[in-house]
């Protein structure tokens, strides 16, 4: 019997700061993405993991709120054909909106974007869907 593939799980947060702008990070593939990362064995829950990751990557403290979306990210075949990641996205109210977010060593750039700016950004469609879901709930 063939063993089914095991895909890593990445928890992501849609964090919107003052002025109604969503925080995005630019990765090594020059794609904008939501802050977050892989679940670690020490994480008490996916919600705790996303709050930890956002704080580590941006300096913002958030509370992981409602589950917004779950989808599968697969890079372009020519880059990483066998790589798939399950993305779990949460809406994350920012508890420290007065803190200026900073970009960590994990990303190339940090940006804050309005809902109207998001459709024109280079990013996987799943992130757009998650961002739209959070803006719709706010």
Indicate the domain borders of the chain: 9-137
What is this structure's pTM? 0.89
User: Going by C-beta distance under 8 Å and a sequence separation of 6 or more, which residues neighbour residue 59?
Assistant: 96, 99, 100, 101, 102
CATH architecture of 9-137: Alpha-Beta Complex (3.90)
- Report the candidate in 17, 11, 9, 12 with the shortest Cα–Cα distance to residue 94: 17
Compute the mean pLDDT over every residue in the chain, rounded to the nearest whole number: 90
Q: How confident is the model at residue 76 (pLDDT cuts 50, 70, 90)?
A: low
Token pair of 112, please?
């804050």
Residue 111's DSSP bridge partners are: 24
């Amino acid at each position: 019997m063939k063993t089914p593939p095991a895909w890593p799980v990445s928890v992501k947060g849609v964090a919107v700061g003052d002025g109604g702008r969503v925080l995005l990070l630019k990765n090594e593939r020059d794609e904008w993405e939501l802050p977050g990362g892989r679940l670690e064995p020490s994480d008490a829950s996916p919600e705790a993991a996303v709050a930890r990751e956002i704080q580590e990557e941006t300096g913002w403290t958030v509370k992981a709120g409602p589950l917004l979306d779950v989808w599968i990210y697969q890079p372009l075949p020519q880059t990483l054909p066998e790589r798939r990641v399950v993305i779990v996205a949460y809406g994350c109210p920012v508890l420290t909106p007065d803190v200026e977010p900073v970009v960590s060593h994990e990303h190339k750039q940090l940006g804050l974007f309005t809902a109207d700016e998001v459709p024109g950004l280079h990013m996987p469609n799943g992130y757009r869907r998650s961002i739209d879901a959070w803006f719709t709930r706010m």
